[in-house]
Structure 1
């Protein structure tokens, strides 16, 4: 239980249809970056040091790709299929760096539903403020199953 309240399970595989989609917008803030870096102990200066990043082809600090992955996997856990889902694979391509304070529009769309194997495949994409695709790929998840 989360903070003492009972959570409702996400949808079962039988209740999910191909073509379902979700759009969400995330703004990458300093607090998010600092939480990630503190949690993972990832001290890559490319993520936080302007003087370091200015010496690279990126020119300024970039958002760790695993943070973008976290936004996408969190959307799977929260919405499609929802609470109780278990991610079994992900194939993501990071096509362009995302910089601090960026706003990214994410789209998730169900492209495959396999009732026999209790599996859904969700196509994912993230587009920055300039309309450029920064991440795309797919995530496979098992929707929640209840004990009979």
Structure 2
């Protein structure tokens, strides 16, 4: 059970430096697209109908851009800086479509650590299996705060 399990917090801002990198590879499967469409009630034919998509410049169904954004936000929440972090702003572009069954490699890099406002700036570049750039972006992230004076029960539900 997710709520009942204690989780370790991600890295504090004082532990982070510009130049840190994280590489992740994500394979996009039917189940992922169907879960997204079910959660959002998004019935855009460009995402699911081969006969419609085949008549567009895309030629076949594409992956919703918000799903790709979710892969990035998940990487930040899980790894860089990790649990307890919060995305303050994001600017993400999708220069090429991502198709069903694609494998996307994400390269995240810390490019700035700002102690004054407790944020780090992280860039992201996503490439497909043909090494084409399909995602570029920059995110401003607030790393997790350490809680002072905790007793053993404070994070029981974390």
TM-score (norm 2): 0.91
Could you give the per-residue CA deviations for residues 84-110 of structure 1, whole angstroms, max 9, x where no partner exists? 001000001100000000011110000
Local SS of the residue matching 2:7:
coil
Distance in 2 separating the partners of 1:111 and 1:123: 7
1:110 lines up with 2:110 in the alignment: yes
The structure having more radius of gyration, on CA atoms, is 2
1:94 lines up with 2:97 in the alignment: no
Aligned length, in residue pairs:
148
Q: How does 1:1-148 map to 2 (within 5 A)?
A: 2-148=2-148
Distance in 2 separating the partners of 1:146 and 1:11: 9
Distance in 2 separating the partners of 1:146 and 1:43: 42
Distance in 2 separating the partners of 1:19 and 1:98: 27
Residue ranges of structure 1 left out of the alignment (5+ in a row): none
Local SS of the residue matching 1:75:
helix
Local SS of the residue matching 2:81:
coil
RMSD (CA atoms) = 1.0
Which aligned runs of 4 or more in structure 1 are off by greater than 6 angstroms?
A: none
